[in-house]
Amino acid sequence: MSGAPDRDLLAAEHVLGTLEGDEAREAARLLRDDPAFAAAVRVWEARLAPLADIVAPVAPPPELWDRIVAATGSATVVPLSLRRRLRIWQASTGIALAIAASLAAFVVLRPVPAPRVAVLAPLSGGVPVLLATAEPNGTLSVRPNGTIAVPGDRDLELWALAAGETRPRSLGVLPATGRQLVAALPPGTQLLVSLEPRGGSPTGQPTGPVLYGGRLTATD
Amino acid sequence: MSDNPSLGIAARGDDTALLLRRCAAGDRGAFRMLYDRWGGRLHGIALRITRQTSLAADATQDAFVQIWQQAHRFDPDRGSAEAFLVSLVRYRALDLMRRHSREVPGYEPDEREDETPDALSRLVTTAEGAALHRCLGTLDAERRRLVVLAFVEGLSHSELAQRLRVPLGTVKSWIRRSLLSLRECLAS
């Protein structure tokens, strides 16, 4: 056990970023060679990461996304682990063909997961104002049914209220022209839209009136 | 496409993990959504550490390239998505900053702001943040300031000693004791 507590502190200091010289090199070496040290680093990263919430966001330079796209290439990158699995797969072509044939039958027989939709209308009743579609892959599209007028000093904010929950979770500001986002929404989730100050609710919960709502239901 | 900036990160954690999984599967659309959601936060973190706009942009760029290339390494059982993203940009920023001198700061944030109750109260928007906030509160003010300065500004042991005009050995032992206290408090 000797050295273990020191190792954990070294992991903590590595995450904090205060190490220099020999200690920094030692931490880098352990991170590479010692899985237990790497695991301790992960634990400290999780412990200290909330401190990053203190830092105010700053918009990156506008050209940065293009640089990232150029640096990652536009082609789809297949992760290494998947490539390895593909190689094993390719190595046994005969078996692969048989499995592929049975998989094809499976794919045909299995019902394709259907998207769920919600029609968002004023809670007091009235014509639908927004249509939301939740795809099985987690994409949520919210589209207006006509023009929505939002006062200049206000924003609409979209909320998800899971079945049985009492506090909605923000899905962010909703432009009047609609929006696409990714969200894990369990069946029976209600979508709500509230009127908030510019930039969204300052409290993390709706502060203005809830204008529209609707429940996500399966389409089949 | 802007999200509500006042929300804590864990409120969107599930979605960030989902986006990372989709990046690992090669989904460029998910990568763009991750950038829209996290670009400003990660760039803000990089800027506080490097204090130079161009170095910060490099760190943010490198972090997103790594996010795209290493998304398949993210394991939700071993850590949160936000810790994964925050750590990537911090290590990049620390590395770039220590290779360059920080003598010509081009960006001067108001650093006193970090220790105000209001700044630290931003932590309580998530369960993990609330626990850390509570445990930071058990440290005395000077030591809390040391940990926050180290994390947010990326200061090394000797830079902290200079900044606070305290001997290097004292800084090291304060940091270690603070980290031990935090570990104990967070485990309880």
Measured from the Cβ of residue A112, the count of other Cβ atoms closer than 10 Å reads 8
- The three-class DSSP label of residue B187 is helix
- The DSSP-derived string for A142-180 is EEESS-----TTEEEEEEEE-TT-SS-EEEEEE-TT-EE
pLDDT band at A2 (very low <50, low <70, confident <90, very high): very low
Residues B13 and B95 in one domain: yes
A17: left (phi over 0), alpha (psi -120 to 50) or beta: left
Domain count, chain B: 2
- Does residue B57 belong to any structural domain of this protein? yes
Contact at CB, A53 and B179, closer than 8 angstroms: no
Q: Is the pLDDT of residue B112 over 80?
A: no
Mutation target vs B (from A6, A154, A182; most B CBs, 10 A cutoff): A182
Q: Is the pLDDT of residue A18 over 50?
A: yes
Contact at CB, A12 and B179, closer than 8 angstroms: yes
Please identify, among B57, B73, B99, the residue that sits at the C-terminal boundary of a domain: B99
Q: Is the pLDDT of residue A37 over 70?
A: yes
- Does residue B142 belong to any structural domain of this protein? yes
Q: What are A154's two structure tokens?
A: 């206000």
Give the closest of B122, B176, B186 to A47, CB-based. B186
Please say whether the beta carbons of B178 and B145 come within 8 A: no
Q: pLDDT tens across A66-125, in order?
A: 999 888 875 444 444 444 444 444 444 555 555 555 555 554 454 556 778 888 887 766
Domains parsed from chain A with CATH numbers? 4-54 (no CATH), 80-109 (no CATH), 116-218 (2.60.40)
CA distance B79 to chain A (A): 6
Whole-number pLDDT of residue A206: 83
Q: What are A56's two structure tokens?
A: 């105010």
Q: Is the pLDDT of residue A10 over 80?
A: yes
Whole-number pLDDT of residue A113: 67
Q: What is the domain range of residue B52?
A: 9-99
Residues B95 and B14 in one domain: yes
Q: Is the pLDDT of residue B138 over 70?
A: yes
User: In chain A, which residues have their Cβ closer than 8 Å to the Cβ of B112?
Assistant: none
Residues B67 and B42 in one domain: yes
Please say whether the beta carbons of A50 and B123 come within 8 A: yes
Work out how many CB contacts closer than 8 A connect A with B. 208
> Strands, DSSP E only, in A85-129?
116-122
Q: Which residue do the tokens 């207006």 mark?
A: A144
- Does residue B136 belong to any structural domain of this protein? yes
CA distance A163 to chain B (A): 17
Chain B residue with minimal CA distance to A196? B4
More confident residue, A9 or A185: A9
Please identify, among B52, B78, B99, the residue that sits at the C-terminal boundary of a domain: B99
- The DSSP-derived string for A28-57 is HHHHHH-HHHHHHHHHHHHHHGGGGGGSPP
Q: Which residue do the tokens 């070496």 mark?
A: A29
- Does residue B3 belong to any structural domain of this protein? no
Residues B122 and B75 in one domain: no
